[in-house]
Structure 1
Amino acid sequence: MHADYPIPADGASGLDDGSNENEWAAPAAEATPLFWQADKARPRPRRLAEETPIALTYNRVSHAVMMATPADLSDFARGFSLNERIVEEVSEIEEIEIVAAPRGAVELRLWITPARMEALDHRRRNLTGAMGCGLCGLDSLEEAMRPLPVVRHDLRLHGEQIAAACAALWPAQALGQETRAVHAAGFWTPEAALVALREDVGRHNALDKLAGGLVTAGQDPSQGVLVMTSRVSIELIQKAAIMGVQVLAAVSAPTLLAVREAEAAGITLIGIARADGFEIFTHAERILGAL
């Protein structure tokens, strides 16, 4: 191990008490804003989500810095690496260190195989400019709009199951209920209901964390519903396709580009999921009775 700062024994989430300045913060903490109502102000405590810089390095070479919630960091490291195609298989990640840095920042140090590092070096040499959140470290516009794999087509679900998947998300969002300020990505299966959920201030980060958690648990992302609390942008479709997700349901609307890419990748894209229904944008044949 090469840690410069203390690392919790489980290598996962941050500490709750923030007792050591070299340890990263808890994912949420209490604040006391002034609540204004009827021309009067009074203190009213509430929980706020933490946001901290998370640096990802590969073989000690800096790659990206993401603003993220300091929890489920091992999952984030694995999921980000898989979804950004830095590695093709989780076995190509040889080691992960979670290192606390000054002022609450965190460094995720990943050691990957020589072949994958060589490919990453080639990508970095060809990097022409910085990209936005969810498109980190890409070579070009062509890479940003890379052709996506076509997912399997053997999943069939009832509308009631989609509703159940969406309804299961909020009760499981512990951090979301504390703060009202984070996104969630969940995975629901007909056999086991909600089997995994990850939260983060960034929707891309939440999905990367979920991807890492599923691969660690040996769970097949193609055999259930990916449920998101956010709008659906192209980056989420790209990540879902790489994961092999067949059905993605979100509480908000998708972009037009996301719809086009979901159609091409064979993903059933569902949006505007509410208690009274939802809208199916692509591949409605997976939802029994929809056609």
Structure 2
Amino acid sequence: MPRPATRCSVPPATARAADGYAYTELAEPARTAAAALAEECALAISYNSLSQAVMMVTPQDLHDFVIGFSLSSGLIDSVDDIYDLQLHGDGVARHAEVQIASRAFWALKRQRRQLAGSSGCGLCGVEALEQALPALTALPGSPLPPAAHLLGLRERIADAQTLARHSGAVHAALFVDGSGAIALCREDIGRHNALDKLIGALPGAGTAPAAGFVVVTSRCSLELIHKAVRARIASLVCLSAPTALTVQWARAHRLNLIHLPHHSAPRVYSPAPAHS
């Protein structure tokens, strides 16, 4: 008689060692030690009781994340469209219940109907392409940040990344204010999540996105350009080189895009140089 299949269960969060996770080095002599690791959890998000998404996120600043995700995904036009936000659960399974304005909810349901034919391996079809390459309202255009505000920025970012110092394996999105100081820092295992958390934190901090600039420690993907433009961020600084498509979209939408290399001067890709 065949044995019943062994059920896989998620260990409780309390099973994590207080001093980190043990490992053994693959070397001679072998050394055993422990290291702190980045945490993550599954966060289910529903709007007006309608399930919308399940995201793997770092469990810090989840309130900021839900607000930023809602804004940067185009699900709401303004933070004022959110009437209530409740977070439930702990450990590896969490749930955000969001109450939004009727107008925003009808728009969300219309978008879901358009994507009803999407395949399991990702978005497909004309409607899905419109989601991947959305029509966005261009920014008004803003002056570039002062070069002095980029001096020593990599080192200052490292100081601001408390989670990364503790465990590594996380990206960061930071807001640098008009004086050149790092005013906000949000971290997550996902680069999109980190930016969403920052976008969600800006309204509560009373900070206008155009009053400074945003830095992402990750590769600058097209999705990050979409989120920055929707959030009305004037200038985006990335620590990794952008792709050609991200530069094209930044220029088309008048988003200042700057790459900050390790060992050379900052490179302004958008706006386009006068000779290009």
TM-score (norm 2): 0.85
Deviation at 1:131, TM superposition (A): 8.7
Following TM superposition, where does structure 1 have runs of at least 4 consecutive aligned residues deviating by more than 3 angstroms?
Answer: 130-133, 164-167
Report if the CA contact (8 A) 1:56-1:110 is conserved: yes
**What is the correspondence of 1:275-290 to structure 2 with a 5 Å cutoff?**
276-283=264-271
**Quick one: distance in 2 between partners of 1:93 and 1:52?**
23
Question: Deviation per CA, 1:147-193, whole angstroms, max 9, x where unpaired?
Answer: 22222333343322123444421111000111120000000023261
Report if the CA contact (8 A) 1:175-1:199 is conserved: yes
1:143 aligns with 2:140: no
Match of 2:148 in 1: 160
**Quick one: distance in 2 between partners of 1:239 and 1:166?**
23
Report if the CA contact (8 A) 1:230-1:252 is conserved: yes
Match of 1:71 in 2: 60
**Quick one: distance in 2 between partners of 1:84 and 1:241?**
11
Among candidates 65, 81, 85, match of residue 92 of structure 1: 81
**Quick one: distance in 1 between partners of 2:214 and 2:32?**
39
Match of 1:254 in 2: 242
Match of 2:6 in 1: none
Deviation at 1:89, TM superposition (A): 1.0
**Quick one: distance in 1 between partners of 2:51 and 2:121?**
17
**Quick one: distance in 2 between partners of 1:29 and 1:201?**
20
1:33 aligns with 2:26: no
Deviation at 1:36, TM superposition (A): 3.2
Deviation at 1:126, TM superposition (A): 1.3
**What is the correspondence of 1:133-282 to structure 2 with a 5 Å cutoff?**
139-191=127-179, 193-274=181-262, 276-282=264-270
Among candidates 9, 14, 35, match of residue 46 of structure 1: 35
Instruction: Report the residue type matching 2:140 in the other structure.
Output: R
Report if the CA contact (8 A) 1:29-1:48 is conserved: no
Q: Which runs of 5+ in 2 are unaligned?
A: 1-12
Report if the CA contact (8 A) 2:176-2:215 is conserved: yes
Match of 1:288 in 2: none
Report if the CA contact (8 A) 2:144-2:235 is conserved: no
Name the SS of the counterpart of 1:277 in structure 2: coil
Question: Deviation per CA, 1:89-144, whole angstroms, max 9, x where unpaired?
Answer: 1111111110106x6211111011112111111111111326999x9xx9521122
Instruction: Report the residue type matching 1:226 in the other structure.
Output: V
Report if the CA contact (8 A) 1:152-1:244 is conserved: no
Question: Deviation per CA, 1:178-222, whole angstroms, max 9, x where unpaired?
Answer: 112000000002326100010000000000000000012221111
Question: Deviation per CA, 1:67-97, whole angstroms, max 9, x where unpaired?
Answer: 1101101101110001111111111111111
Name the SS of the counterpart of 2:270 in structure 1: coil
Instruction: Report the residue type matching 1:146 in the other structure.
Output: P
**Quick one: distance in 1 between partners of 2:121 and 2:39?**
21
Question: Deviation per CA, 1:46-70, whole angstroms, max 9, x where unpaired?
Answer: 1100111111100111101111101
Name the SS of the counterpart of 1:281 in structure 2: strand
**Quick one: distance in 1 between partners of 2:173 and 2:19?**
21
Q: Which runs of 5+ in 1 are unaligned?
A: 1-17, 286-290
Report if the CA contact (8 A) 1:188-1:227 is conserved: yes
Q: What do you get for the CA RMSD once the two structures are aligned? A: 2.8
Aligned length: 261
**Quick one: distance in 1 between partners of 2:120 and 2:210?**
28
**What is the correspondence of 1:101-120 to structure 2 with a 5 Å cutoff?**
104-120=92-108
Report if the CA contact (8 A) 1:46-1:178 is conserved: no
Match of 2:7 in 1: none
Larger radius of gyration: 2
